[in-house]
Chain A
């Protein structure tokens, strides 16, 4: 649905994005992850036809964004970081205006406004001036604006920024509901958001793609060892040394801040080797009081930090 090939954008001497390539297939929700200033907004602006790229091509639904911008714009719904709202219009007036400029036929306009209003739960604020709405409602009106012409592709630039936790969950659910029927690119610097709604992640930093993969794939790829979290009630003073002596264990260290009760340790073993059974037997045999044992999967936070740290080392 979306193909981005070797996209580069320069602002004067500053390179905003460099040689960016990725693809999004139909019906997929792609997370676009990166710290502030990584080039997420720039990429999205190029995809929506707001600004041209310096070099490289981007295609949306088979149309080149540079060669046939009108075709692309008809098929894209875009929610910029700051929702593009006219404060002096009421919600209904605004949505009608957007419906018209998006090319919805006059007969369909009333219907579309009604439907998108329900979809984004805007019923109670229909007649109110946008300028008087709360941040959460403004964001939802922005989302309604992007959805009104039922676009095949949705591009959402930090759709949950500035919302309270309840609103964040609502917006995420809305986006999740679009999965399958719409192709969505969602940018964020909040990692749990990607975990919550996206099927695939593109991580960019300083304008370059650092990884494209599913979440599980990414953390599996970056994991250099299996990690097991272990909680023990009454360890002996030399238990770290004793644990290290178990065959297959690479490293053991004390981990602070993993809860109140007991003494938490992290046991690392070789990749692909399951030592849980061995470990449990050993702890029980020594009568240290096994409270908890669980494999530690890498969170996106770890993936992200590791990727950016590796970049720095190079």
Chain B
């Protein structure tokens, strides 16, 4: 298992050697900054109105008014850009035949899969870390509930972990990066839409199953500060599923 860090650091280096990491982080931060700005200005207009009606300084819940919608918007942005982050992980190695080097070195497939996963996860974490200016900025002017905020960040982290795991799986299926990106986007959207399906059959047993499987319901719980075991288990099992499938695909391709 000691080699998986070698693979992870190689992945991180190659993200920054090419423009991918810079462009991706820049796009994420710009869109995010714009969304944050418009949500904050909306919230400040609302608080001014509240001030006028009540005549006294209102107790505004910034977590509810600003961060919950911001994080929801962020999750949609992630849905669109995470496949771009993960598409190259295996596809590129196959296309340039460097997979042959990895698979004929004394590495286990688990080390390769986990190393690549960790590499992409670290890029994502740094992306997420850079958005931390938002709560820091608001905490200068107002009171924040840090517990709820961190629970929201945990939600974003877990959501991204699942996205990367599914994206890694899609990337292992093909040597074409575009197809890898499209396939992972399709898979993620499918999981996303499960929540909508759950809403249409609400109240039945089927509805309960679907709503547990819905990635959005769990996410919303975390944004409201509800850190539940079943939520964490749900995300971690999706991550494990993605990694397991990737392992199987890489292993089976040797047989073809």
Contacts and interface: CB of A to CB of B under 8 A. Distances in A.
Contacts of B7: 101
Category for how many chain B residues contact A: 20 to 34
Contact of A88 (B14, B105, B256): B14
A80 B96 CA distance: 12
Contacts of B10: 86, 97
A86 B104 contact: no
A100 B256 CA distance: 29
A52 B254 contact: yes
Contact of A74 (B97, B106, B254): B106
Interface string B186-215: 000000000000000000000000000000
B98 A86 contact: yes
Interface in B98-141: 98-108
Contacts of A89: 13-14, 17
Contact of A101 (B13, B97, B102, B255): B102
Contacts of B99: 84
A185 to B, nearest CB: 14
Nearest to A73: B106
Contact of A48 (B3, B14, B104): B104
Nearest to B111: A101
Interface string A72-106: 01101010101011111100010001101111000
Nearest to A101: B105
Nearest to B107: A101
Taking chain B's interface residues, is the majority helix, strand, or loop, or is none over half, making it mixed?
loop
B107 A51 contact: no
Nearest to A103: B106
Contacts of B104: 48-50, 73, 76, 78
Contact of B101 (A11, A103, A145): A145
B106 A86 contact: no
Contacts of A52: 254-255
A73 B3 CA distance: 14
B18 interface: yes
Interface string A142-159: 000100000000000000
A115 interface: no
Contact of A84 (B97, B108, B255): B97
A70 interface: yes
B7 to A, nearest CB: 7
A88 B6 contact: no
A203 B87 CA distance: 42
A87 B255 CA distance: 28
Interface string A258-288: 0000000000000000000000000000000
A70 B107 CA distance: 7
B31 to A, nearest CB: 27
B254 A73 contact: no
Contacts of B101: 80, 84, 98, 101, 145
Contacts of B18: 88
Contacts of A51: 254-255
| Residue of B18, B96, B98, B100 contacting most chain A CB atoms (<10 Å) | B100
A33 B100 CA distance: 22
Contacts of A103: 3, 106
B255 A88 contact: no
A90 to B, nearest CB: 9
A1 B228 CA distance: 58
Contacts of A11: 256
B130 to A, nearest CB: 23
Contacts of B13: 89, 93
Contact of B105 (A45, A73, A80, A87): A73
Given A82-B97, A84-B101, 5 more contacts: A50-B100, A84-B97, A97-B6, A97-B10, A102-B105
Interface of B: 3, 6-7, 10, 13-14, 17-18, 96-108, 254-256
- A-B complex: 9 closest residue pairs judged by Cβ atoms: A84-B101, A88-B17, A84-B98, A48-B104, A73-B106, A100-B6, A101-B105, A82-B97, A74-B106
26 contacts: A50-B104, A50-B254, A51-B254, A52-B254, A52-B255, A70-B106, A73-B104, A74-B106, A78-B100, A80-B100, A84-B96, A84-B97, A84-B101, A85-B96, A87-B96, A88-B14, A89-B13, A89-B14, A89-B17, A97-B6, A98-B105, A101-B6, A101-B105, A102-B105, A102-B106, A145-B101
